[in-house]
Structure 1
Amino acid sequence: MMRVKRVTRVVISDVDKESEQELRSYGRRRGRKPSARQAALLREALPRFAVDPAALPEAAQTWLEIGFGGGEHLLSQARRNPHALIIGCEPYEDGVIKVLSAIESEGLKNIRVHMSDVRDMLRQLAPGSLDRAFILFPDPWPKRKHRKRRLVNSLLLDLLARVLKPNAELRIATDIGDYARTMLEAFRQEPRFVWRAEGPGDWRVQPADWVETKYEAKAAEAGRRRYYFRFLRT
């Protein structure tokens, strides 16, 4: 394993130096108007499965997924790992409805949902309370003027470093080369994370327990290269 600053010189060039702003959620929060059943899920199920950062349920491990989209990865990890409490953060209403529906139909007990900006919750969690975190294919905001909206930056890493336990793993994936470079630049400036990489194959190959999302499948079909980064909290 190597600290990011020792390896990113061969990956990063001409990284955009726009000033970072505090994270906020951009984009749509809902698609079509929810059906009566979907509205009932938001009204009745969401409060039951919402996150209380000050009183998390007892669990052998606690994991966090930031921006779970349609919930494919979140739900699969919850099914595979019943010992782990998995917190999912997603501001988009349609994705939250899909996850709540699966929780109800399958009787899943180890998922909690935060339908808002993850920053709010991270600031309330106790230090060292998370064993693993995932940020999988976040919105790339490819236009130069919108890059400041990208989720992964030094401000978010500071919040994550506070709540991740020593040796906790942070997994990040993207299919946008420019975003991969700016991600690594952010980590290069954050000494509390070590990049788990010995060579190029380490960020081109999925981890053994990887769960492919619908977005990732579309990226593969379009022929876009995917980057899989794994970091340890020191």
Structure 2
Amino acid sequence: MNDPATIRRLYGRAQGHKLRKGQAALVEDLLPKVAVPEEGPVDAARLFGDDRPLRLEIGFGAGEHLAGQASARPDTGFIGCEPFLNGVVGALGHIRDGSLGNVRLYMGDALAVVERLPNASLDAVYLLHPDPWRKARHAKRRMMNHGPLDLIASKLKPGAEFRLGTDDPTYCRWSMMVMAQRQDFTWLAERPTDFLERPEDWPETRYERKARRQGHEVWYFRYIRR
């Protein structure tokens, strides 16, 4: 199996429904102001003009969780990565409505940003409801593989947190298997409810609500970088 960290191809759609006039204006006017630079090193000083704590979300969907975290931590810089244009538009709306000056967005492969960050520079990484790629032959596309996790681990500070949320049983089992093989993360769960109940500082997303309406269980994993 190829190392997933070396596969630089995004699968699936890049855009859904056609953007409305106001949404297109957000992309044209606001996105350039909050976009992560396409080239060169990425750090807090370059993104926000000062040396502040940094957190990163991989695949932020419509941006509810990203906006909730950014609103709760105004002195922390947040980087959100999402290849889907309509999701980026959703996040831009949250940034505008919440006057969130501490968020930067990247529309594309999150690993292209992660690899440009300084080592041990992140206080937290969020990976919520990633594409499960249920078929066995697609397992190499999952973000929860050792290649991407090696890269993520190198960018997390010692004691920093990695959070994973999923409602897919196959992805849940796969993730537990992969993380059990690693020596650089400590799972914080001490009892079953620790990964069955969403922590108070974990904003709910519309994807999570949809999963529960469909009768799906949702699992919440919290790991600390050793």
TM norm structure 2: 0.89
Percentage of identical aligned residues:
42
2:34 is aligned with what amino acid? F
Match in the other structure for 1:195: 187
Cα separation, 1, equivalents of 2:213 and 2:144: 25
1:90 is aligned with what amino acid? E
Q: Note the C-alpha offset of 1:59.
A: 5.2
1:1-234 aligned at under 5 Å gives the runs 20-21=3-4, 22-23=6-7, 24-52=9-37, 53-54=42-43, 55-57=46-48, 58=50, 60-234=52-226
* Structure 1 runs (4+) greater than 3 angstroms displaced: 18-24
Q: CA RMSD in A?
A: 1.7
> For the Cα contact (< 8 Å) 2:64–2:94, is it kept in 1?
no
Q: Note the C-alpha offset of 1:66.
A: 0.5
> For the Cα contact (< 8 Å) 1:85–1:110, is it kept in 2?
yes
> For the Cα contact (< 8 Å) 1:157–1:190, is it kept in 2?
no
Cα separation, 1, equivalents of 2:97 and 2:64: 15
Cα separation, 1, equivalents of 2:189 and 2:98: 37
2:154 is aligned with what amino acid? R
Cα separation, 2, equivalents of 1:101 and 1:218: 21
Q: Equivalent residue of 2:57, what SS?
A: strand
Aligned residues: 217
TM norm structure 1: 0.86
Cα separation, 2, equivalents of 1:188 and 1:209: 25
In structure 1, runs of 5+ residues without a counterpart are 1-17
The one-character-per-residue Cα deviations of 1:44-78 (angstroms, maximum 9, x if unpaired) are 32221012414232254211110000111111111
**Which deviates the most, 32-41 or 46-55?**
32-41
> For the Cα contact (< 8 Å) 1:65–1:134, is it kept in 2?
yes
Q: Equivalent residue of 1:56, what SS?
A: helix
Cα separation, 1, equivalents of 2:72 and 2:51: 15
In structure 2, runs of 5+ residues without a counterpart are none
Q: Equivalent residue of 1:25, what SS?
A: coil
